[in-house]
Amino acid sequence: MLRVISNVWPIRSANKRKDDGKQVFVNVYDMIEPCTLTNFGYFMGVGIFHSGIEVNGREYCYGGHPYDFSGVFVVEPKVGPPGVLFKQSINMGYIDLEEDKITELIQTLSGEYSGNSYNLLNRNCNHFTADLCNRLTSKTIPGWINRAAKLGTMFPCVLPAEWVEPPECDCKPTPYRFIAKESKITQCLKNPSSYRR
């Protein structure tokens, strides 16, 4: 079984030196502006965060919407989607995966993470980040990034249902925001300036 898996996705090390590969970062954003409440949450080890994976000068994220196309999208690294504040970047190491293999992996994940499958507690942006990070580097992201969702699964009755389901969205699929088809992601990845704001 391991041999079959290694033939499909080559086993790679995320501990290579700078000269040997591409650096992978987990970029973390505050969902709420810093205030007394958030500072108390940080003190208690809980925060509400958005995250994405930065590799090859692009940041891949996941978000919810009510449509049956991918919720995976590309943003400028360390800028994030609207409404979030950059908090920190975590170095996850270096990988030696070729760009076409990274593109193939993103396309695969884009098919697995539709916008209407988003769930604040069980399938959010941090779950996507953890999945992509693991597939790229074989490493896990720090647990504190998604701790609020884990706590929420223990007490689901505390959260209103509208917080848990995908948000209302008047967005339309474009080749630069949501990754839906191979031709669209290829166009976006080959022309990085097309997705910059």
Is residue 50 part of the annotated active site? The answer reads: yes
- Asked whether residue 1 is assigned to any structural domain, the reply reads no
Non-local (6+) Cβ contacts of 57 within 8 A are 77, 192
Residue 145: which pLDDT band, with cuts at 50, 70 and 90? very high
Whether 178 is in a domain gets the answer yes
Task: Report the pLDDT value the prediction gives residue 78, as an integer from 0 to 100.
Answer: 97
CATH number, residue 17: 3.90.1720.30
Residue 94 lies in a domain: yes
* Section 133-151 average pLDDT: 96
Answer with the residue of higher pLDDT: 45 or 128. 128
Alpha helices, H only, the chain: 2-8, 36-43, 99-112, 125-137, 147-154, 161-164, 182-190
Structure tokens at 169: 């969205």
Is pLDDT above 70 for 93? yes
What does the block give as tokens for 97?
Answer: 């995966």
Lowest mean pLDDT segment, chosen from 20-34, 93-107, 181-195:
181-195
Q: Does some domain include residue 113?
A: yes
Distant-in-sequence, close-in-space partners of 88: CB < 8 Å, separation ≥ 6: 27, 28
What is the pLDDT averaged over residues 165-175? 52
What is the pTM (predicted TM-score) of this model?
0.74
Q: What is the pLDDT of residue 160?
A: 66
Quick check: 145 and 51 in contact, CB under 8 A?
yes
Choosing from 61, 125, 133, 188, which is the catalytic residue? 125
Is the per-residue pLDDT at 13 higher than 70? Answer: no
Give the domain range for residue 46. Answer: 13-191
Residue 5 within a domain? no
Percent of the chain with pLDDT over 70: 70
If one counts the domains in the chain, the total is 1
Pick the catalytic residue from 50, 61, 65, 188: 50
User: Is residue 136 included in any domain, yes or no?
Assistant: yes
Residue 2 within any structural domain of the chain: no
Supply the mean pLDDT for the chain: 79
String of DSSP letters for 173-196: --TTTB--SHHHHHHHHH-GGGG-
User: Within a domain: residue 182?
Assistant: yes
Res 32: pLDDT: 87
